Structure 1
Amino acid sequence: MRLFAAVWPPPEAVGELARAVAALKELPGAEALRWTQPESWHFTLSFYGEVDERTRADLTVRLGRAAHRARGPVPMRLAGGGHFGDRALWAGLRQERSDREALRKLAAATTAAGRRAGLAPAEHPSFHPHLTLARARGRGRGASGVDLRPYADALGPFQGSGWSAGELLLVHSVPPRSAVPGEQPRYEPVERWPLGP
């Protein structure tokens, strides 16, 4: 099964962001993007890819330790947005420096847990917490032909209410099965741990 470690925003925070995203969907060209569903919005800490049952058991133990060693719930606030080139539009976070560092350490701990369980994480730049809102349709980079800058600019002033990420989740990414164009994967938590001792 395809697994990743994540933190999930609460329904109130998702609702605030969903209202802001509804306005983005009215912008010209929005129909050319694949918009993610609010119930799937999350912050990926580490992506593990395909994991067999034996490795999953080891990973589960290690992630439980990582969650226990965390300083406790991490204050977060959905705010602003940006884009990765012409491929993906995302919402960001506004946090105090100490809270950003706590989230970065949690991400590093989940990556280390995966590495120790024998799961080499994909190469990627430093941790950049983001919540993916939309992706370009079609194959290849920027296949939709939509410039994501106006969407990121429109999302710039958004600032949601504060909340705390109080648990670490191990999530199963269930791929689409219907072959219906635009169908997206489902995300099912398989394990969860409170953050902190």
Structure 2
Amino acid sequence: MKLHIKNMVCSRCKMVVKAEMERLGYTPRVVELGEVVLDNELTDTEKLNIEEALQRVGFSIIDDKKSRLIEKIKNLIIELVHRQNDEIKTNLSDYLSSLLNHDYNYLTQLFSEVEGTTIEKYYIAQKIEKVKELLVYDELTLSEIAFQLNYSSVAHLSNQFKKVTGLTPTHFKNIRDQKRKSLDEV
């Protein structure tokens, strides 16, 4: 049985969901971003108990196809931006279309309709959060960050950063007390 879980966007989320499942007496075969796989089918009562336990720790079970698809889009973007160790080698529309087996126009229309923002804006927000993280860690130059996140230039990164945050990357780096958003708040 496969359960689709909303707001499960990081390794810590996976640990919390796995711990909750085990606390309830289940041994998940797989716990991935947005998904838990169990060996057995669940009764409606068991699903309700799991739903209540997950809601107490900030998650919920997604039960319709469109919502699951939107969660997959979000998880793929998060994975692409925050967990990939080298530059992004494809454009976003090709990346999502190939992995989700849907036309990008359909994906973007559905995402915008449900989320109230575009896939591109969500992607940019994730990239800016990654830039903030890298600036705070202070291990890479702005040029290296721009290259890693597939910006065409430092100027493009700086312009996009200022448009989203109201600050230049250098100013942000200097104040460092700007709080970053958790991935599920972006």
Q: Same fold (TM over 0.5)?
A: no
Structure (1/2) with the larger strand percentage: 1
TM value normalised by structure 1: 0.25
Return the structure number with greater helix share. 2
TM-score by length of 2: 0.26
Greater Rg, structure 1 or structure 2? 2
